[in-house]
Structure 1
């Protein structure tokens, strides 16, 4: 059961009607007053633990059904869907979404399902990466069972930061009779990892960094030992494309590998002890910046939550190749392009540096819009500088005050850089960096005055 008060009025009302009971009759079954039940059904009172127990005991009811909002990612999940530009003209804010989900969770769930399966464009609906990402976000990128299994395995293997590579190697050798062999680039020109069962070898490219090498070994362990668990999670998703299911499984394998290298409880303690100092955490756990950024979006264990980061990866053209909102509630990533004024793009000019920027995201109607962001370049695995990307982490500015990387940074909204969700979705009228007019805006032309931007436009 999730943390916080449990408001489940619509679920209780549907159960009562299904059983054919009046409020008085159901109240008697639950040993509460009719007036109290009335308040519960109207979401004016939360369910106490005793009432939940009575509901389960009296009606053979699955308590997971009381948390209907979790199946669509809660208010954050709705916010991501309503951030679609097709809903922009309605100006739906977060308070309205909260009220919608509280008063009509089944209607909200029906909308979410329709949006996920048929409400998107034909191109996106047939895009396996988009389908996989929808499923990741439905889970808010937190897979509790995988975290627990990875933590148990890390304890069993007695992994520590000093000999994590040795521990992973020993696991392959002792449990799976596999040796690790590092091969020259000319032997593996187009591969990072290859499993040779005939030779009983896990073959790795010499181009992998130590952190990437450990991650690839952890991935192989995940494939060998957790494939059944991961396939079971993936089978619960309603993918229309086999490639989408495979991509989702690949994400889960990577999730388990990261959880093995950064076991949940130990990693969260280190985050809190260091104020999420990113360079320290990288060294302590022997991971890359990208691996660390991924892990920071997953810390949502009930009773043991970390800060709600979002994470993305972009290329030099500003295209997103990875986007994980996690529990951040961010809709800033719901676009095909990133804003050129965001530090995510200028970080390419400062390779290897942590580039910080406080931003105020305009045009993000359904979620938080004031963020502290950290960007850093990374090289593609095994590319030796041939491929470069930028990883960006974001946290609501109101939560960022104690971050190690936020010391000395101005977090105020007044001084924040205004950014949009790419030119086609940004309606800031005076941005000199604008390349395209916003979609849906009425263009205006003045034969007398030429403005500082190439496009003038009115309201949507």
Structure 2
């Protein structure tokens, strides 16, 4: 289906019922025929851009509500939940799940919400983290108002010239009467930074790397100058508790800080001019690899879109502590654990060198672009030497990666890709010798007369 072929019948039908209109009356308001509206509501015709604009003008309609499937992580997110062993006997396939999601997306979202809260490992904090992540996914990690405000401020304080840290320090001094002080580790043993209102100081740990110091200064500016803008976005989210809202608010403040260090227009021009050359971009904007990876998932400004990267942060146990999809369709990267065949794990041993790997997914479909170019690098968790280490990985569909600097000299033929999966429990790949757990929802086969090459054997669906 074409990229702009958006099926959103239930959302349109709810608008009509909210306004107490017949199909004929609403069709008149939208300047389309009643029969065409009927087909749209039954998901037999996509919603065109002209109809979307008419909905906005006539009904004060929020276009984001058209992508209701994002609340569950799309079809892959729904299938991840339906693959639970509790539903194994139902043999639900992707076609049935796709029909469910397209026909009654609100019920699908209700199922996903109940499922996410019903697992044995779910507690209040897990729920808050999941709710915050869902809201970021709903926005596709692009907050236009914050981006524009950051770009205007960057121009005002001239971050494109000279020393960034000095420019941020001067802003804090001139606008807010805060000085910046770097303190010894034993003075701030448990903190990266602190805002001391009594002493009018922004206090930074001496252990922070220069890029992390700059980010902390930008973060303080976000907290001081963008409080109302951040709160407006956070209050618009439908959270059940304050912990989820606080986590989302913290993400928005970090979003503004990154946008201040990497202003949208200048950053996009640099990406395009360098072929998204990651080491060059790090140095040009004086940012860390992790800060750069975050920013690459946000480039979705209308009329000036960047490439759709995903970003994850992985610990040595393969657990994901961060996962941002942006406009990417890589829902495999929103799983809880990674595949041991992915070289993200090898990056821990590479001393901070960039590791590049072309991977393909199990049961890959045309929508998944024939594979993913992934780039990984180990990072210090807090930007302070000697602290926790993680690997940050970014990726993009191979079909879009041909012109990237890191793809030069690398074969992107499907036959050369390394097959991986979304963690063993969610991976359906047959005959994987690296498998440590059986896949959820599959019936195991046992043969007392033969021992196979893999610890768990199961058949086709």
Provide the residue aligned with 2:318 in structure 1: 318
Distance 1:9 1:425, change over 3 A: closer
> Quick one: distance in 2 between partners of 1:240 and 1:45?
33
Residue 37 of structure 1, CA deviation: 5.4
Distance 1:296 1:183, change over 3 A: same
Distance 1:429 1:224, change over 3 A: same
> Quick one: distance in 1 between partners of 2:430 and 2:306?
38
Residue 73 of structure 1, CA deviation: 2.9
Distance 1:263 1:430, change over 3 A: same
Counterpart secondary structure, 1:333: helix
Distance 1:265 1:442, change over 3 A: same
Provide the residue aligned with 2:299 in structure 1: 299
Provide the residue aligned with 1:453 in structure 2: 454
Matches within 5 A, 1:55-454: 60-64=58-62, 68-73=65-70, 77-84=74-81, 85-86=83-84, 89-92=91-94, 97=98, 104=103, 107-116=104-113, 118-122=115-119, 123-124=121-122, 126=124, 127=126, 128-160=128-160, 162-362=162-362, 368=368, 370-454=371-455
Distance 1:359 1:232, change over 3 A: same
Is the Cα–Cα contact under 8 Å of residues 9 and 41 in structure 1 kept in the other structure? yes
Structure 1: give runs of 5+ residues left out of the alignment. none
Counterpart secondary structure, 1:311: strand
Counterpart secondary structure, 2:431: coil
Is the Cα–Cα contact under 8 Å of residues 165 and 214 in structure 2 kept in the other structure? yes
Distance 1:264 1:196, change over 3 A: same
Is the Cα–Cα contact under 8 Å of residues 312 and 320 in structure 2 kept in the other structure? yes
Which shows bigger deviation, 158-167 or 32-41?
A: 32-41
Which shows bigger deviation, 245-254 or 5-14?
A: 5-14
Which shows bigger deviation, 438-447 or 217-226?
A: 438-447
Which shows bigger deviation, 35-44 or 234-243?
A: 35-44
Which shows bigger deviation, 189-198 or 398-407?
A: 189-198
> Quick one: distance in 1 between partners of 2:166 and 2:151?
18
Per-residue CA deviations over 1:154-198 (Å, capped at 9, x if unaligned) read 111111253211110011001110000111112222211011111
Q: How many residues align?
A: 449
Residue 399 of structure 1, CA deviation: 0.6
Counterpart secondary structure, 1:109: helix
Is the Cα–Cα contact under 8 Å of residues 335 and 421 in structure 1 kept in the other structure? yes
Matches within 5 A, 1:10-21: none
> Quick one: distance in 2 between partners of 1:192 and 1:116?
35
Residue 361 of structure 1, CA deviation: 1.3
- Please, what TM-score do these two structures have when normalized by structure 1? 0.87
Per-residue CA deviations over 1:122-155 (Å, capped at 9, x if unaligned) read 4346313222212211211111111111111111
Residue 119 of structure 1, CA deviation: 4.9
Counterpart secondary structure, 1:322: strand
Is the Cα–Cα contact under 8 Å of residues 360 and 370 in structure 1 kept in the other structure? yes
Residue 232 of structure 1, CA deviation: 2.2
Is the Cα–Cα contact under 8 Å of residues 5 and 48 in structure 2 kept in the other structure? yes
Which shows bigger deviation, 372-381 or 398-407?
A: 372-381
Which shows bigger deviation, 174-183 or 120-129?
A: 120-129
> Quick one: distance in 2 between partners of 1:244 and 1:36?
41
> Quick one: distance in 2 between partners of 1:394 and 1:378?
17
> Quick one: distance in 1 between partners of 2:287 and 2:326?
20
Residue 305 of structure 1, CA deviation: 0.8
Per-residue CA deviations over 1:72-99 (Å, capped at 9, x if unaligned) read 5389634333333337843316x974x7
> Quick one: distance in 1 between partners of 2:93 and 2:381?
40
> Quick one: distance in 2 between partners of 1:56 and 1:306?
25
> Quick one: distance in 2 between partners of 1:315 and 1:279?
22
Counterpart secondary structure, 1:312: strand
> Quick one: distance in 1 between partners of 2:23 and 2:416?
54
Is the Cα–Cα contact under 8 Å of residues 68 and 105 in structure 2 kept in the other structure? no
Is the Cα–Cα contact under 8 Å of residues 100 and 108 in structure 1 kept in the other structure? yes
